[in-house]
Copies of this chain bind each other. A is one copy, B any other.
Amino acid sequence: MVVCLGLFYTPYHPENIMTPKYPYDLRTGYPNTEILVPHEKLASIAQDLLLTDRATQYGGVLQGPLMPRERIAEWLTDHSTQTATPEQLVITAGAIAATDLVCRTVTEPGSIVVVEDPTFYYMINILKMSHIDVVGAPMTREGIDLDALAGLVEKYGDRLKLVYTIPSFHNPTGVNASPENRKKLVEMAQQHNFTVLEDTTYQWLYFDSPPPPLCRHYDEGSGHVVSVGSFSKTLMPSLRLGWIWAANEAHAQSFTKFKGDAVASTLNSGMVGEFIGRGLYESQLEYARNHYSERCGVLVEALQKEIPDYVEWDVPQGGYFVWMTLPEHIKAQDVLELSQVRGADFMPGRHAFVDGADDRYMRLCFTMMDDEKLQTGAKIIAESIEAAAAR
């Protein structure tokens, strides 16, 4: 089996400049780095760190160097309902690496891991690296389907070790799990002794008002909830930097048991720590939110004008994606082919389901393209839906 992000993602310029395969790229879930990244500030920080021989050495401690853990902990404390400490944190090579690490730690070969169905498609690959079986629980407008999850708990018992959830601005559906849903999920974890791994990648990328508190808000530090997060969509993807926020120090250290890279890049950790420490991350996040909100607004306006009424979709309140459900007789694959001929691309939603799904779903990402490309892309996709309907 050859796993390649290129299956869904577009190829890159040798020097890593984005060159989308289709001019109207509503598929790739990447930020527009030209706009998002604070190039000069990061360049200045990298230079300072390197010229003073800071952030040049190995880490020494598998959780990551103390300074960036202190800065991330302070930031999390300011932007959640709980107090974070550096002892609770493990710096990782991104949220994907963090998820791999948590899954490796809390499962054993043959364990069951439950994901929302649909979920972030690439995480299914990542979870399966631990020789476990991935099972889907349907996604509802309130979050993961708790009745279905209860059925899986009943069916698999102790084999069920982990539930991977994206509670806020879910990829791909955009759903925010309700506070009740989060609370009950955590209670189920405590009762049946599994771990809730919440991916908070989009938690702080809201447009108007913040989503409900993290799942860990509903836990009393029992160690049944682990949060993972990322700086890829708020600061710079190429840092490959994220974190695990565990219940306490012992819990955090348990995750270093499977840290196959030993320690995340201490240069990149230092850059993030310094960026937060200089008080720059707050305005950067504000900037990112405004930027994404504006991109979303342009796409939504175009979609509202162009997309036929029989297509179901909600206006996103944050995150990266618009999720669309076609009527049963229209195939997303037909829409895709018709769109691509005219230069527009999106992700067929069936790829985001554990065992595939009806070919009725479409994921549109609004973060990469400028106004004109979002508008033309929306128009091409809308006309392709109508053409597919007429087939």
Contact = CB atoms under 8 A, between A and B. Distances in A.
A179 to B, nearest CB: 32
Interface string A236-262: 111111000000001001101111111
A94 interface: yes
B263 A261 contact: no
Contact of A5 (B62, B70, B122): B62
Contact of A54 (B17, B50, B62, B237): B17
| Most chain B beta-carbon neighbours within 10 Å: one of A18, A93, A270 | A93
A43 B15 CA distance: 18
Contacts of A188: none
A4 B253 contact: yes
A71 to B, nearest CB: 10
B55 A16 contact: yes
B58 A47 contact: no
Interface stretch (A101-109, A286-294, A359-367, A383-391): A101-109
Given A1-B257, A265-B268, A238 B6 contact: no
Interface residues of A, number: 78
A150 interface: no
Interface string A100-144: 110010001100000000000010001001010000000000000
Contacts of A46: 43, 46-47, 50
Contacts of A237: 56-58, 266
B264 A240 contact: yes
A239 B256 contact: no
A14 B57 contact: no
B264 A60 contact: no
A10 interface: yes
Contacts of A57: 12, 16-18, 30, 33, 237-238
Contacts of A12: 57, 59-61, 65-66
B239 A267 contact: yes
A130 to B, nearest CB: 9
Interface string A6-32: 100111101111100000000000100
Given A12-B65, A254-B2, A262-B122, A43 B50 contact: yes
Contacts of A266: 16, 237-238, 240
A152 interface: no
A67 interface: yes
A97 interface: yes
Contacts of A62: 3-5
Given A3-B256, A93-B240, 7 more contacts: A9-B60, A14-B65, A15-B55, A16-B57, A46-B46, A58-B238, A240-B263
Q: Which 8 A-B pairs have the closest CB atoms?
A: A100-B260, A97-B261, A43-B50, A238-B266, A238-B267, A46-B46, A12-B60, A14-B66
Interface of A: 1-6, 9-12, 14-18, 30, 33-34, 37, 39-40, 42-43, 46-47, 50-51, 53-62, 65-67, 70, 93-94, 96-97, 100-101, 104, 108-109, 122, 126, 129, 131, 232, 236-241, 250, 253-254, 256-268, 270
